[in-house]
Chain A
Amino acid sequence: MHTPTGSLLRLATAGSVDDGKSTLVGRLLHDTKQVFADQLDAVERVSRERGLAGADLALLTDGLRAEREQGITIDVAYRYFATPRRRFILADTPGHVQYTRNMVTGASTAQLAVVLVDARHGVVEQTRRHVAVAALLKVPHVVLAVNKMDLVDYQESVFAPIADEFAAYAQALGVPEVTAIPISALAGDNVVDPSRAMDWYAGPTLLEHLENVEVDHDPRHCAARFPVQYVLRPQSSEFPDYRGYAGQVTAGAFRPGDEVLVLPSGKRTSIAGIDRLGERDVDVAFAYQSVTLRLADDVDVSRGDVIVPADRAPEVTQDIVATVCHIADRPLRAGDRVLLRHGTSTVKALVRALDSTLNLETLVRDPGPSALHANDIGQITLRTAAQLPLDDYADHRRTGSFLLIDDADGATLTAGMVGVPLGTAAEG
């Protein structure tokens, strides 16, 4: 095991069942020394029991007994590994059942997605779906891992056209950065260690790329957002008049003195001071820090409000047009009354219309569906009972996203993204 000292990278993997995703994840864990002797013993024991010749690294990511017995798949398993440069959180999404919903979940927090293809098959329909989900969820970096290069004699002439086709498709969908890497997860080529069989490839191994890719957006470039989570009023002898608004900066940066608006009310004030987890009066609070803001004026602020820069405020509205991924097994229909969770706010909402469904393979939007079923991607129109400060998801992943929730039992129904980034209307 390595002692990490660098930043944290969240990534998601996507691949069809036979693309070797489990082997790749097992290989990453194994070759970065995250697999311990007792885990490897267990893998070797089970491999023997199943009559396999060697240790099947895919077993490192094997499912729960409950999943096998009930034939269900729990959407995402999280894996952890580290190198001296970085700590990684890998969202491992099963490829077969409930695929879209799983990948949407994994991709929602990912800064990078690894899409696997089989070198023998190249870019297939499933690959197009994977890229479309990554593009839809605005995952900033996509890596194409062309796997099983050992089965095509490690030939550049196989790899290059796949990489070109993939890059063209991803860029057309608006994926900002694509990197293609030829690998063999089974043999270990270019996963952690450079391949000796592919002299023609001069780029990084997959792990080198994961270690070095620049994923932090610069908070200086981004309009700041601060959903208020909790009001801190100690009313203690030491802090008799302290009133602070606790939350996580979801984008950009705030400094004392900044002119801000409290949304949705629109009241204007300025930041009097920023405290960070017991550290008083820090100079700046930037994206993903958890901090406490103190405001100059005695304005009414509570959980659910969003504090934003006065000159870069989002629209405040009750009408939402959004792209959604339906999650629950019960379908979503026009006329449904639901709860909408946005940032730290929960409001009542009405599904006014199901506008279309998006075919992830053709990127054509079919109008007027009667219902959205689990794993459907669609465009819907909502009306909320209260005003919400909504960002376009393309600009702000955290304040441009929401959930629809069933008021009766609290189930999460639908994941939503404000705006309609992908697809063209069906002809005729």
Chain B
Amino acid sequence: MTKETELTVVDERHAVDPAPETPTTGNEPMRLDHLDALEAESVHIFREAAAEFERPVLLFSGGKDSILMLHLAMKAFWPAKVPFGLLHVDTGHNFPEVLAYRDRTVAEHGLRLEVARVQDYIDDGRLRERPDGTRNPLQTVPLLDAINSHRFDAVFGGGRRDEEKARAKERVFSLRDEFGQWDPRRQRPELWSLYNGRHRAGEHVRVFPLSNWTELDVWQYIDREGIALPEIYFAHQREVFQRGGMWLTAGEWGGPKDGETVQARSVRYRTVGDMSCTGAVDSTAVSLTEVIAEIAASTLTERGATRADDKLSEAAMEDRKREGYF
């Protein structure tokens, strides 16, 4: 490992040039690797938000980014319990393995979980199914309603700036108006590590502790920490059909259509969202090490490879963000 080589170099440097004026007992290298640094920054953000807001909530889908967030939150407040609950905006198009994981996690750690269901909105007519069948864009209304009814003033989201160019300019503390909208003009410059969470009544702040992580960091950290993930993140046999260059799972939400043929393939998921628009990738990776190797060799971005909703237009994410999406 290159990492060990680096640490050895640091040791030699300190052996040659010990700091004279500060009494120290150990010679341990006082240096953080990139995962340590990202972890420390995320924990700092969680603690800031927990201290500055009255009613925070963590968005939890059972996807890897939300699992990572919960892991970091538990570390941040150890040995106390995480001082906020979870919110799942449920599209109704869930992978059963992911829902099972969600419920297992909530029970194991004694967490509070609120679920806002897109299906309820469709059933009573407040939302209508889109022609393309995807429900990801439909999550915004139930999300904003849940924020209002529970009076959440801070919402932890797993968004990362490396995901998409509208996210590259997102703040760690992102102010939303009383309609949940993101106004680029009202975003506050963030200097040093001073996060300004002040807001007026009715407004809330989205907090993004993973802002500076990349997809690869997430996987490396999950590997290092031994965090368990839902099985669908690893290669498995699945009945899939091809649409828009992606492998979609066959199911009642609109596929396969005429001319699309179902076949069994060895696939895994890079992201987990609405089943109708989240694609699997061909894979033989059954371990984290193998997943990391595949990602490092991948030529497509995470969203480009697996999210039909981001292919709608060049500014698809930007538009959804402005309306109050995650």
Contact = CB atoms under 8 A, between A and B. Distances in A.
B48 A78 contact: no
A157 interface: no
Interface string B293-326: 0011111110011000000001100100010000
Given A64-B165, A327-B189, A411-B188, A220 B19 contact: yes
A3 B51 contact: no
B315 A290 contact: no
B32 A8 contact: yes
B75 interface: yes
Contacts of A239: 79-80
A103 to B, nearest CB: 11
Contacts of B33: 5-8
Nearest to B303: A38
A290 B47 contact: yes
A233 B80 contact: yes
B47 A8 contact: no
Interface string B173-207: 00100000000111111111110111110000000
Contact of B76 (A65, A246, A412): A246
A286 B30 contact: yes
Contacts of B115: none
A82 B76 contact: no
B79 A218 contact: no
Given A6-B3, A216-B31, A65 B315 contact: yes
A67 interface: yes
A398 B184 contact: no
A75 B41 CA distance: 21
A210 interface: no
A80 B199 CA distance: 30
B40 interface: yes
B193 A87 contact: no
A30 interface: no
B50 interface: yes
A401 B3 contact: no
Contact of A80 (B6, B193, B214): B214
A324 B187 CA distance: 20
Contact of A277 (B76, B188, B199, B298): B76
B200 A36 contact: no
B24 interface: yes
B2 A290 contact: no
9 residue pairs, one from A and one from B, having the closest CB atoms: A410-B198, A38-B304, A220-B19, A290-B43, A277-B75, A234-B80, A87-B34, A108-B191, A8-B34
Interface of B: 1-3, 6, 19, 21-22, 24-26, 28, 30-34, 36-41, 43-44, 47-48, 50-51, 74-81, 161-162, 165-166, 168-169, 175, 184-194, 196-200, 211-212, 214, 216-217, 220, 292, 295-301, 304-305, 314-315, 318, 322
Interface of A: 1-8, 36-39, 42, 62, 64-67, 70, 72, 74-80, 82, 84-87, 89, 101-102, 104-105, 108-109, 216, 218-221, 229-230, 232-234, 236, 238-239, 242, 244, 246-248, 250, 253, 255, 275, 277-278, 283-284, 286-290, 292, 303, 327, 339, 341, 344, 397-398, 401-403, 405, 409-412, 415
Given A6-B2, A216-B30, 7 more contacts: A74-B187, A77-B168, A232-B79, A233-B80, A283-B26, A303-B51, A397-B192
23 contacts: A7-B6, A7-B32, A7-B37, A36-B299, A37-B300, A72-B184, A77-B168, A105-B190, A105-B191, A108-B192, A109-B193, A221-B19, A221-B21, A229-B47, A230-B47, A248-B43, A255-B25, A290-B40, A290-B41, A290-B47, A292-B78, A339-B198, A341-B196
